[in-house]
Structure 1
């Protein structure tokens, strides 16, 4: 559990936070990528974690997997459809302290205009006052979604059986949030 003096409003630091994903490719390896934070805020309430809240907006056009051709394909209508849906959003509906430094954040995840409720297990990783005297708080965690639940059904069959891209996508979160003045 984070200390009570950390209660307050925070803005995620996009240079020190990562919103990543992992998908199986050809059923033999994993492809990792990330989507940059456009805007993300949190309200932490140590005395009453249920009063805490999180809002995240990710910039689909900035998706990066280390391969420009794949990144371009992920921006098309086969996948994220960045032209019609430039953002992925998450808005919490509940925050629950589940013990120790662990929390569950439940909320509405919207991808391609489709909203589904997900629960994200997060662990509090610590607090620091940085060189500029700013209080930072860290959390990390992740969960898995089925991309088909969000309208991403594109795939290709493999000659050896199976498909090119897994339906299961693992979401990974490393968060550094800066206390608002």
Structure 2
């Protein structure tokens, strides 16, 4: 059975089977959920979760909350200011396994022009080989951040007290990543294809003209040798 400590190699996030979302409290009484639909990321590690690293880039303009008006407000200068700061990035600074199925990822989260250090605990959901031959791993994690720490300060006061949008935002990650094929395996396969192609190379068949010239050459050679023998034959001395 696979555990975090048995994983090794380079993994690429599969955006079609990964969700990067967030939850905010609205008007102090309910929760609003959203997600980013365009992103890319990768991770690499050696066995035993050594020399591990994770990188993620999110396109801010891909934010979706189920309301076009709200999405537009989030993209404005009141919040993300997507025209000026089009991406959110995360770069790990430390990755460690606290046990066989729990990963603690520390790193720098950059939103707008502000970078803060955060720690995200992840649960290892397992590894599997999909029907297309891809080796997949699953991880899920979440962390609470204060949006004001990243310059997202807009708010509106409520007549009943409190504010329209909570300062604390929960970031949720449901990740499916595919292991990259080892380069060495690719090179070996390529070498095998080349060798097979070379083995199939067949010498070209002689042309008709070449075949027809061979007897003529033999006759010509025989006639000359016959003349030489005739000159130096004992009867001619």
Q: What is the total number of aligned residue pairs between the two structures?
A: 179
Shift in alpha-carbon separation, 1:127–1:104, aligned structure 2, 3 A: same
Secondary structure at 2:148's aligned position in 1? helix
2-side partners of 1:144 and 1:44: how far apart? 26
Say what the alpha-carbon RMSD is for the aligned residues. Answer: 1.0
Determine the structure 2 residue equivalent to 1:63.
Answer: 63
Determine the structure 2 residue equivalent to 1:173.
Answer: 173
2-side partners of 1:108 and 1:161: how far apart? 34
Structure 1 unmatched runs, 5+:
none
Name which one, 1 or 2, has greater alpha-carbon Rg: 2
Determine the structure 2 residue equivalent to 1:154.
Answer: 154
Structure 2 unmatched runs, 5+:
182-237
Q: 2:4 aligns with which of 2, 5, 9?
A: 2
Secondary structure at 2:175's aligned position in 1? strand
> If the length of structure 1 is used for normalisation, what is the TM-score?
0.96
Deviation beyond 3 Å, 4+ runs, structure 1: none
CA deviation string 1:26-80 (max 9, x = no partner): 0000000001242200003232x24111000001000000111101100011111
Structure with bigger strand share is: 1
CA deviation string 1:82-127 (max 9, x = no partner): 1001000000000111123011100000001100000000011011
> If the length of structure 2 is used for normalisation, what is the TM-score?
0.74
Higher RCO by CA contacts (8 Å cutoff, separation 6 or greater): 1
- For the 8 Å contact 1:19–1:37, the answer to whether it is kept is no
Map 1:4-23 to 2 at 5 A: 4=6, 6-23=7-24
1-side partners of 2:19 and 2:139: how far apart? 11
2-side partners of 1:142 and 1:50: how far apart? 22
2-side partners of 1:113 and 1:180: how far apart? 32
